[in-house]
Amino acid sequence: MSEGAASATPTAEALSREAIARVDLSGQLGDVLALPEHLRDALWRVESAIMQDFDTSAGLVVAGMGGSAIGGALARAALSDHATRPIFVTRAYGLPPWTTPDTMVLCASYSGDTEETLACYESAGALGARRTVATTGGRLAEMARADGVPVIPLPGGFQPRAAVAYMTVAALEVAALCGAGPRLTSEIDVAASHTEQLVAEWGPDAPEDSLAKDVARGLLGTTPVIAGAGLTTPIAYRWKTQINENAKQPAFWNELPELDHNEIAGWEGAQDVGRFAAVFLDDSDAHPRVKERMDLTEQTIAANAVASFRLETRGETTIERVISLVLLGDLVSIYLATLRGVDPGPVKVIDDLKAALTQR
């Protein structure tokens, strides 16, 4: 639950379905609310790829960018201590130098035309590594089918970041197939039901003082700085990127305990340079020392922050807890976009940059 509040008076504007629809012209809210359905559909889509178990002693590398890469990081967090092989996410034009033929490489690109991921696909092939692809089509699907590489078919029509459930489940299932972790099929199905309850609690039909709406109002007019620890570290990054793309504003992230060795000193001058809000993402099952450190860090930072929030995972299993804060962050970003009056869907600056790159 929230343990902080905005120092400024929050806007009284309602965050109803109708109010959101007036701004959310591309229907991003619907994709967020469909997260439980996406989790279940993702399991079916992985099964439809007809993949065989392939034990890889070197583990799993997930190659992707942006919303297509986050699934690998979230899957690694969800597996937690149950991972039995290394699981690494690469967001670059190449694979880690230690990649060998015994490594499974999952190339994840929603569009299928992400040039960095295409480069990783080709690098994996040159190394003789086992490959799997998760995509809607594009050049990646064409090459994979020509090479006889399994393709996990993703549904079209989303912004890549809205396919987070599909990318997370794909990474979890491929990790199981290559021996990097246990199968979490039943846990994913239970997590979908748990997420449905949270959608009702935090969604647009919830009261105006519900948690997601309260956090969005507290972050309005600030630069959010999100901190995670352990399980919540990749979720903190997800919050940052969702606020960037949906609310179209700066946001930053870090992780504990690292930020206590540098960033915490910078908060002393926060009020001199801008309006910053602190968001701490806690895990209900975090190590006691991590919780104590987060307590002290929040107390130290709060005096220099416009708003401070402490938010905790919900659920019993790791996948439930991971998805709970992913959902909360996605909703907060949509509500924040609504309060700012910007359509959360289009990311013109990203599209323009990609187009410019193709001309070089």
Taking the chain (360 residues) in consecutive chunks of 10 residues, what is each chunk's mean pLDDT? Answer: 43 83 96 98 89 80 96 96 94 96 96 97 97 97 97 95 97 94 95 98 97 98 98 98 98 97 98 98 94 97 96 97 98 98 95 90
**Coil, helix or strand at residue 71:** helix
CB 134 within 8 A of CB 160: no
- Is 64 found in the same domain as 21? no
124, 157, 188 - which closes a domain: 188
Q: What was the pLDDT predicted at 352?
A: 93
Q: What was the pLDDT predicted at 12?
A: 53
Encoded tokens for 128: 């003789």
Number of Cβ within 10 Å of residue 356's Cβ equals 9
Q: What per-residue string of b and e applies to 22-52 under the rule 16 or more CB within 10 Å gives b?
A: ebbeebbbebbbebbebbebbbebbeebebe
**Coil, helix or strand at residue 19:** helix
- Is 174 found in the same domain as 49? yes
Length of the chain: 360
Catalytic residue check, 316: no
| Chain segment 132-159, per-residue pLDDT in tens | 999 999 999 999 999 999 999 999 999 9
Q: What per-residue string of b and e applies to 108-133 under the rule 16 or more CB within 10 Å gives b?
A: bbbbbbbebbbbbbebbbeeebbbbb
User: Among residues 124, 71, 67, which one has the least CA distance to residue 93?
Assistant: 124
Encoded tokens for 179: 């021996």
Give the containing element (helix H, strand E) for 161: none
Residues spanned by the domain of 262: 17-26+206-340
**In this structure, what CATH number is given to the domain that contains residue 104?**
3.40.50.10490
Strands 104-108 and 307-312: unpaired
Residue 45 within a domain: yes
Encoded tokens for 272: 């001199």
Q: How far apart are CA 310 and CA 328, in angstroms?
A: 13
Q: What was the pLDDT predicted at 89?
A: 97
Which of the residues 122, 196, 263, 354 is marked catalytic? 354
Q: What is the pTM of this model?
A: 0.94
Q: What was the pLDDT predicted at 2?
A: 46
CB 224 within 8 A of CB 277: yes
Q: How far apart are CA 239 and CA 93, in angstroms?
A: 24
- Is 47 found in the same domain as 112? yes
**Coil, helix or strand at residue 104:** strand
- Is 212 found in the same domain as 147? no
Residue 325 within a domain: yes
| Half-sphere exposure at residue 342, Cβ-oriented, CA atoms within 13 angstroms | 18
Catalytic residue check, 240: no
Q: What was the pLDDT predicted at 54?
A: 77
- Is 281 found in the same domain as 248? yes
User: Among residues 258, 245, 239, 251, which one has the least CA distance to residue 327?
Assistant: 239
Catalytic residue check, 348: no
Residue 92 within a domain: yes
Q: What was the pLDDT predicted at 51?
A: 73
Q: How far apart are CA 275 and CA 305, in angstroms?
A: 7
Q: CA quadruple 55, 60, 64, 66: dihedral positive or negative?
A: positive
- Is 143 found in the same domain as 175? yes
- Is 212 found in the same domain as 174? no
- Is 224 found in the same domain as 315? yes
Number of domains in the chain: 2
Which of the residues 116, 173, 245, 255 is marked catalytic? 245
- Is 241 found in the same domain as 169? no
